[in-house]
Amino acid sequence: MIDFGGARRMMVDGQVRAADVTDPRLLSAMLELPRERFFPDDKASLAYLDIDVPVSEAGLPVRRLLKPMVLAKLIQAAGIAGTEHVLDVGCATGYSTALLAKLAGSVVGLEEDATLARQAVAMLAAAGAANAKVVTGPLSGGWPAQAPYDLILLGGATEVTPAGLIKQLKVDGRLACVMGRGPGKAIIYQRTATDISGRAVFDAAAPLLPGFAKPQEFVF
């Protein structure tokens, strides 16, 4: 029998704190939230490993939850206030949405895989995340019905600047993502009244989200 509580503490101490994540609210939330419940039964034993664990059924594209360290560093770099309105793009089974719900005022989890979205709804209800909801639609389209957002978090990598999502931010809102397939950079974009700026905050790798691949170039 796996001691999930002990595994959770080891994850926070050995992966998250060790990566210079010091936000006490975030650390407390990660210690409280049972990550193993957001995985299929046959993958629950992998919940606290330092890998991007698959959560989707057989088929393409395979969807994975971000490794805990990358997710935690992205959230810390974004600097979430307790009153903010957040869009979680690619929420999969809802772990990141439930985590954000402990830190923000309200959270919308967006998922285009209907099976994963149903699982996320059930998991958020079990977690008591009353300030979070799950919606279903193409990830690259965001969710304009609940815009504007203070923060948008991408639960995976993008190869293109997500300009359409950035337009759904409030003025001074932020978008946190991993840019690039394979070794890449975690980027925080910020929208101002007249412009968009981006800054790299740490080296990172994450699975590519559907709809965020760079268009193929044709050679004649």
What would the pLDDT profile of 81-106 be if each residue is shown by its tens digit?
999 999 999 999 999 999 999 999 99
Q: Where are any strands of DSSP class E within 76-119?
A: 85-89, 106-111
pLDDT value of residue 217: 67
* pLDDT, average across residues 103-124: 97
* pLDDT, average across residues 128-137: 98
Residue 59 has pLDDT above 90, yes or no: no
Encoding tokens for residue 210? Answer: 């559907």
C-alpha count within 13 angstroms, C-beta hemisphere, residue 152? 34
pTM, 2 dp: 0.95
Kindly list the structural domains of the chain, giving each domain's residue range(s) and its CATH number in brackets, ordered by start: 4-204 (3.40.50.150)
What backbone torsions phi and psi does residue 6 show, to the nearest 5 degrees? Answer: -65, -40
pLDDT band for position 220 (cuts 50, 70, 90): low
Encoding tokens for residue 66? Answer: 């971000």
pLDDT value of residue 138: 97
* pLDDT, average across residues 6-31: 97
Averaged pLDDT of the chain = 94
Q: What is the DSSP string of 184-200?
A: EEEEEEEE-SS-EEEEE
Of 61, 64, 13, nearest to 38 by C-alpha is 64
What backbone torsions phi and psi does residue 216 show, to the nearest 5 degrees? Answer: -65, 140
